[in-house]
Amino acid sequence: MTTYGSFPGTRPRRLRTTPAMRRMVAETRLHPADLILPAFVREGVAEPVPITAMPGVVQHTRDSLKKAAAEAVAAGISGIMLFGVPEEARKDAAGTAGTDPDGILQVALRDVRAEVGDDLLVMSDLCLDEFTDHGHCGVLDAEGRVDNDATLERYAEMAQVQADAGAHVVGPSGMMDGQIGVIRDALDQIGREDVAVLAYTAKYSSAFYGPFREAVGSSLQGDRKTYQQDPANLRESLRELALDLEEGADMVMVKPAGPYLDVLAKVADAVDVPVAAYQISGEYAMIEAAAEKGWVDRERAILETLTGIKRAGARNILTYWAVEVAQKLR
C-alpha cells in the first residue's frame, strides 16, 4: 500500500534550493543608492596618504578627492561625507580652521560640488574635533571640560560656512545638547532652508573609532565619555531621537552600526524620517585584517555586515566600501 505525505510537511528549505530561488525570496536587498562614502581630505599633501589601520582608504589630496567623487557618481551611490584634515599648525583651541572659508574642509566642499554638481549629495562632517589642538568636539572651559553652549555657537558658524561652500547636507556629530536646533536656525537665518541636517542621534563612545583617529590626525587628549553615549544605554538613544526630531532633524543616524543593531532597529521602528547607520573605521579594519589573514571570506563578510545593517532598519549606510560594493551590485 502506498503511503502519501511525509514528515515534515512544511519544508522551508525549498525556498533555499538555488541562487535564483534565494534571490527571488530575499527579504532585504542592498542597492547602490543605499550607500554613502566617508572620505578624508588632507591639507598640504601632494599625493594621497594611505591610512595604516584602514587598508585601501587614504587621506585624499584635493585632486584625488575630486576623482573619488566622480567615481562615486559613476557607481551610483547617493552621497559622499567629507572630513577635513588640516595641517597641525592650523589647529587651535577653538578649531578656527573649521570655520575658515578657506579651511581645507570648505575648500574641499567647493571642489567636490564643482565636480559633481547635484549628481551626488555632498555632505560635510560638522564637528570641531579635527580642527582643535586638544582633539575634542567642542571648545573647552577653564576647567578643561567641553563647554556645550559655547560649542553650539561654533557649530552655528560651521553650518553657515559649510552651506556657503556647497554642502547639500550637514552632519553634526559632536553630540552637544541642542545642536540640531541651533544649526537649523543658523542655516535658516542665511536663507539656506534647502540644506538638510543629518543628526548623529545615537553616537556611542566606542572602542571601534580607533583607526578613525589616525585618519583625521586626531589630537585627542582624554576621552569623549561626557558627551558621547554610554554603550550600556538604549532608552537614552530614544530620548536623543525625540529631541533631534523636535529640533528639526531631517534624517537621523546610529553610530557605530554593527555593535548597535538593536538601537538601530528601535530607532527605525520609531520614526518616519530616513534612518542612517555608520559602519565605522574599526568595523572596516577588523574585516580587512581578518581577510588579510585568510580567516574570513572578505567579500562575503562585507556584504553580510551591510545586509545586516540594512535588515535592522537603515535606509542608508555610511561605509568605506561604498563604491566597491556599489560596483559589484551594479
Q: Tell me the catalytic residues.
A: 203, 255
Which secondary-structure segment (H or E) carries 69?
A: helix 62-75
Distance from C-alpha of 72 to C-alpha of 30, rounded to nearest angstrom: 16
Distance from C-alpha of 207 to C-alpha of 157, rounded to nearest angstrom: 30
Q: Which amino acid is at 270?
A: A
Distance from C-alpha of 313 to C-alpha of 320, rounded to nearest angstrom: 19
DSSP string, 285-311: HHHHHHHHTTSS-HHHHHHHHHHHHHH
What single-letter DSSP state applies at residue 146?
A: B
CA 3 centroid distance within chain: 59
Distance from C-alpha of 305 to C-alpha of 312, rounded to nearest angstrom: 11
* Whole-Å CA distances, 265 to 180, 234, 258: 22, 11, 11
Say if residue 256 is preceded by a cis peptide, omega within 30 of 0: yes
Region of residue 29 (left: phi > 0; alpha: psi -120 to 50; beta: else): beta
How many Cβ atoms are within 10 Å of 196's Cβ, its own excluded? 18
**What's phi and psi for 192, nearest 5 deg?**
-105, 50
**Grid coordinates of 300:** 562575503
* Whole-Å CA distances, 196 to 73, 80, 272: 20, 14, 16
